[in-house]
Each structure stands twice: as structure tokens, then as C-alpha cells.
């Protein structure tokens, strides 16, 4: 399956694994890349830039296929050496970097120097156009259905994707709420050149998280996510567990008087990491998208990618072509 995305990324299929905090390790990235998609190592999951360099080397020991690095640029309490992480990825020979969060413009000269293709994740048309204007190679347009941070516009992909496609000249990935071949066919019909999946790759055999988390995703419906941090205008979609429900209660009670300190300990990233690694579903906050309602199995990455591609082609061939 050839699109502008496969040509840009050097993959067999136009599928990209989301850069997920505490999930995007070499184990998953290599398995996704070996399946013909693009695996992604999450830079900030690694404690230091030196650790990222070692993780990149570890991934290369498991795959000879292209893989990328995610660099999410967000305001933090403790300063993060973003430029050092970016430089490590460049000097390690990474050719695809997925950026997210803040504008990646401060790093574009570095990426250009090393011939890196930047794919920037955007939650609005205006942000996608801004990314295009600073020279990114492609954008990943993230609809309101997504796990993690969907922005504050609340526009789902059925509207957001064609709105972005109508104005962009560069390739576009559809991201957020995608986990089936039929959805992939729909995204291509709406103007995307490929898809980005996060939650769906969490529920695979190679995902380096506890089986309890994978089983929770399979058992959940599309209703079992929660939007937190809305009063702080930093909305995040997470799995609706006991912690998320309690955070929502505190937010609703505090209203405009909400202070992050009221919920800081409950939403600490360290607690979420423990939940993912040790399997206590209710120990901390962890992200999962509405697509969990469409996830009913835990296949290998190879089997998942083959299933999605086959189903996508089948939908186009058997459901759509006869209509023309």
C-alpha cells in the first residue's frame, strides 16, 4: 500500500505507532516496524538523553526497518533538556521525529541539518497550517476522540480531517480513535495519507505494559474514558479508573477555584508509570482513547497490522467500489 506517507517514511504500510509515554520503548517500536509500519520510541520515557541513545541502539538490534522518535515539548516543573534529546536522536541517525505539544520551530534547523523528517502532531487546522509553514514534512492531525491531549476545540475527526486536508499541501496522518481497517479506509477517504494509532498498539503482545492494563482496555467500552484538566485548559483523555473519577469530582467541586496542587499527587506521572508496569489499573492516571470500545483482542503487532491492512482493502473493494 503506497501513499505519500509510505514514500516519506520508507515503510511498507501507512501506519504509525503513537509516541506514548511509558509505553514507547524499543520492544514495541521494533515489533511495529518489523510488521511494516513505523515504530516510535518515546524520548522522554527515557530518564536522560544518554538513555535515549542506548534505547535507539537497542531498537536497532531488534529491527533493520525504519523507526522514529517522539519528542513531546510541554511546559514542565522540572526543566527538560529537549535540545539534548533532539540532538541525540539526530546524531544516532534517526530520520523521522514525531513532535508534539509546543511549536517545534526552535529545533527545525537542527533537524534540517541532519535530514530529519519532522511529523508534528496537531489538534486543529490552524496548528497544522502553522506546522506546515515552518517546514515540517507531515502532520498528524489528532481528533477529539484521541487518548492524551486532544486540545481545547473538541473537533472530532469526521470534521477535522477533511477540514485540514482541504488546506494542507503536505502529507497528513489521521490520529485519534483509530483501531480498525474500516476506520483506516474512512480516514483515507477523508483526505489522510495514513493513520497513527496509540491505544490500539497498547493492546498487543509486544506492548511493554502489564497484561492487566491490556485486559482493561479490551474490557472497556467507548464510554470508559474521562476528560480531566479541563478547568486548567490542559484537557487530557484518560482511562476512566478510580483515580480519574476522583479527579473529576474534585475538579467539579472546585470549579473556577481549582488549583493544580489539589490533584497533583493523584495525577503524578510516577503513579501512572507504576500502574502500567505493575498492573494496578486504579493506582494512577494512564491514557486510553475512545477506540478501546472497538478493541476485542491482544494480537501480535504483525497480526494487527496485517488485519488492519486486509480489512481496509476489503472495505474499499467490497463496500465502496460497488457503489461507483
The answer to whether residues 202 and 223 belong to one domain is: no
**Is 249 domain-assigned?**
yes
Q: At residue 269, does pLDDT exceed 80?
A: yes
**For the chain, the helix, strand and coil percentages under 3-state DSSP, each to the nearest 5:** 45, 15, 40
Residues 128 and 173 reside in one and the same domain: yes
Tell me what percent of the residues of the chain surpass a pLDDT of 90: 97
Is the same domain home to 179 and 236?
A: no
State residue 312's pLDDT score. 98
CA-based radius of gyration for the chain: 19
**Is residue 183 domain-shared with residue 228, that is, in the same domain?**
no
Query: All 3 cell numbers of residue 142?
Result: 489528532
Residue 74 and residue 97 in one domain: yes
- Residue 166 and residue 305 in one domain: yes
The mean pLDDT of 110-120, rounded to a whole number, is 98
CATH number at residue 47: 3.20.20.70
- Condensed to tens digits (0 to 9), the pLDDT of residues 271-324 reads 999 999 999 999 999 999 999 999 999 999 999 999 999 999 999 999 999 999
Q: Are residues 60 and 150 in the same domain?
A: yes
pTM: 0.96
pLDDT digits (tens, 9 = 90+) for 10-58: 999 999 999 999 999 999 999 999 999 999 999 999 999 999 999 999 9
Q: Residue 130's Cα: distance from chain center in Å?
A: 20
- The total domain count for the chain is 2
pLDDT at 236 over 70: yes
State the residue range of the domain holding 253: 211-290
Q: How confident is the model at residue 135 (pLDDT cuts 50, 70, 90)?
A: very high
User: Do 184 and 231 fall within a single domain?
Assistant: no
Please tell me whether residues 222 and 127 are part of one structural domain: no
The reply to whether 295 falls in a domain is no
- Is 127 in the same domain as 228? no
Residue 174 clears pLDDT 70, i.e. is over it: yes
**Does 266 map to a domain?**
yes
Q: Which residues pair with 118 in a beta bridge?
A: 97
Q: Is the pLDDT of residue 262 over 90?
A: yes
| Cβ-based neighbour number of residue 122 at 10 Å | 25
Interval 203-216: pLDDT, tens: 999 999 999 999 99
pLDDT of residue 77 exceeding 70, the answer is no
Q: What is the mean pLDDT of the chain?
A: 97
pLDDT at residue 78, as a whole number: 78
**CA distance linking residue 14 with residue 205, whole number of Å:** 21
The pLDDT of 192-202, averaged and rounded, is 98
Amino acid at each position: 500500500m503506497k501513499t505519500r506517507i509510505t514514500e516519506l517514511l520508507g515503510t511498507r504500510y501507512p501506519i504509525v505507532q503513537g509516541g506514548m509515554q511509558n509505553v514507547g520503548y524499543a520492544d514495541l517500536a521494533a515489533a511495529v516496524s518489523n510488521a511494516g509500519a513505523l515504530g516510535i520510541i518515546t524520548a522522554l520515557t527515557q530518564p536522560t538523553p544518554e538513555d535515549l541513545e542506548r534505547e535507539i541502539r537497542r531498537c536497532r538490534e531488534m529491527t533493520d526497518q525504519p523507526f522514529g522518535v517522539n519528542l513531546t515539548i510541554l511546559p514542565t516543573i522540572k526543566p527538560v533538556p529537549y535540545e539534548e534529546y533532539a540532538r541525540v536522536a539526530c546524531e544516532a541517525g534517526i530520520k523521522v521525529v514525531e513532535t508534539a505539544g509546543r511549536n517545534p520551530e526552535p529545533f527545525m534547523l537542527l533537524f534540517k541539518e541532519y535530514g530529519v523528517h519532522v511529523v508534528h502532531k496537531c489538534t486543529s487546522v490552524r496548528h497544522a497550517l502553522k506546522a506546515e509553514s515552518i517546514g515540517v514534512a507531515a502532520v498528524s492531525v489528532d481528533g477529539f476522540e484521541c487518548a492524551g491531549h486532544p486540545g481545547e476545540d473538541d473537533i472530532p475527526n469526521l470534521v477535522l480531517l477533511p477540514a485540514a486536508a482541504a488546506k494542507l499541501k503536505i502529507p497528513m496522518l489521521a490520529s485519534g480513535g483509530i483501531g480498525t481497517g474500516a476506520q483506516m479506509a474512512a480516514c483515507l477517504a477523508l483526505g489522510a495519507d495514513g493513520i497513527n494509532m496509540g491505544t490500539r498498539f497498547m493492546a498487543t503482545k509486544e506492548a511493554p505494559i502489564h497484561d492487566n492494563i491490556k485486559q482493561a482496555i479490551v474490557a472497556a467500552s467507548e464510554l470508559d474514558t474521562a476528560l480531566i484538566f479541563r478547568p486548567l485548559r490542559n484537557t487530557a483523555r484518560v482511562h476512566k479508573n478510580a483515580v480519574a473519577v476522583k479527579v473529576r469530582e474534585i475538579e467539579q467541586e472546585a470549579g473556577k477555584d481549582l488549583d493544580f496542587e489539589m490533584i497533583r499527587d493523584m495525577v503524578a506521572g510516577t503513579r501512572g508509570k507504576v500502574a502500567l508496569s505493575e498492573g494496578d489499573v486504579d493506582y494512577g492516571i494512564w491514557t486510553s482513547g475512545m477506540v478501546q470500545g472497538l478493541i476485542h483482542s491482544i494480537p501480535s503487532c504483525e497480526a494487527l497490522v496485517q488485519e488492519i491492512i486486509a480489512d481496509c482493502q476489503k472495505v474499499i473493494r467490497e463496500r465502496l467500489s460497488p457503489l461507483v
